[in-house]
Amino acid sequence: MSQNEWDETPIARAARQAARMSNPANLKLPKPERCRKITIANQKGGVGKTTSTVNLAWALGLHGLKTLVIDLDPQGNASTALGAEHRMGTPSSYEVLIGVIGAAEAMQWCETNPNVCCIPATIDLAGAEIELVSMVKREYRLAQALNDDFLAEQGFDYVFVDCPPSLGLLTINAMTTVDEVLLPIQCEYYALEGVGQLLSNISMIRENLNPNLHVGAVLLTMYDGRTKLSEQVVEEARRHFGSVVLINRIPRSVKVSEAPGYGQTVLEYDAGSRGALAYFDAAIELAKRGDYLPTAESAPIGVAPELHS
């Protein structure tokens, strides 16, 4: 095998990528003109929502972009993956939502990636839906805490909000805070199940609460190029969402599944794995193309088609 052929093998590429990630000083991406606020949402569980949140944030942080992750899921999985303390009583997104503390008081910086910060979720968040019902401007509690002045003062380039897999006041607060929705879709059976309802909810929120809200990206996860089903999901997603679908897809990966058990992102757990490389490249694509503002033709907000068997 020639040197050029060796350089193109998956093992060699993984080795080069791992070497790049081990030296963050060489990683640079353009800063957005203003802080990009993105929520990762899908009402269907198990699609890689939290995994995508933390790994995209981690990859952007490696490139020198100051990134804030807000965990609005009471399970606190994003907090765990980023190594944030989230025991009961820890200053968290719950206290921020009910107005007991400001966002800055709940922030925890990641020790191994100093550009990434997390506002964790604790079990207290499980009761927040009930408490928020009687509060003034209950749909805008998070938006008020994360206003433009706060984000500019802190110097954040990106904000990612991880939501629970349901449409309640927590998810609505996320969607009134951000401009972009990143929609993860798994390349498996019933991939588009529930997507139509989510898009209808996004449309409703845009019409009544946040006119800037739009689907800025669709990320295909759990992709397996060996199966016809995965290719079919890709075709269906591109037919419905057009150019909003990211070119980079996240493969089904054992390392991606293992990383949360060690309280790490896959980029931290195994930088040379297929899953880590895919998230690394997806983050670069997301950053370089900027806030993708789709036309009605390229990304309709409406009912998603059924995935044909």
Crossing angle (nearest 10°) for helices 195-208 and 169-177: 60
CATH number of 30-217: 3.40.50.300
Alpha carbons 182 and 180: distance in angstroms, whole number:
6
Of 185, 268, 259, nearest to 222 (Cα)?
A: 185
> What's the Cα-to-Cα distance from 202 to each of 68, 162, 193, 197, 208, rounded to whole Å?
23, 16, 16, 9, 10
Q: Where are the domains of the chain?
A: 30-217
Q: How confident is the model at residue 11 (pLDDT cuts 50, 70, 90)?
A: low
pLDDT of residue 59: 97
Q: How confident is the model over 22-51, as pLDDT tens digits?
A: 555 567 898 999 999 999 988 776 778 899
Average pLDDT, the chain: 86
Of 211, 92, 95, 104, nearest to 149 (Cα)?
A: 104
> What's the Cα-to-Cα distance from 286 to each of 61, 165, 207, rounded to whole Å?
13, 23, 26
* Tokens 């060489």, residue located: 26
Q: How confident is the model at residue 5 (pLDDT cuts 50, 70, 90)?
A: very low
Q: How confident is the model at residue 303 (pLDDT cuts 50, 70, 90)?
A: very low
With beta carbons less than 8 A apart as the criterion, state whether 88 and 39 touch: no
Alpha carbons 21 and 271: distance in angstroms, whole number:
7
Q: How confident is the model over 125-172, as pLDDT tens digits?
A: 988 889 999 999 999 999 999 999 999 999 999 999 999 888 889 999
Task: Write down the pTM of the prediction.
Answer: 0.87
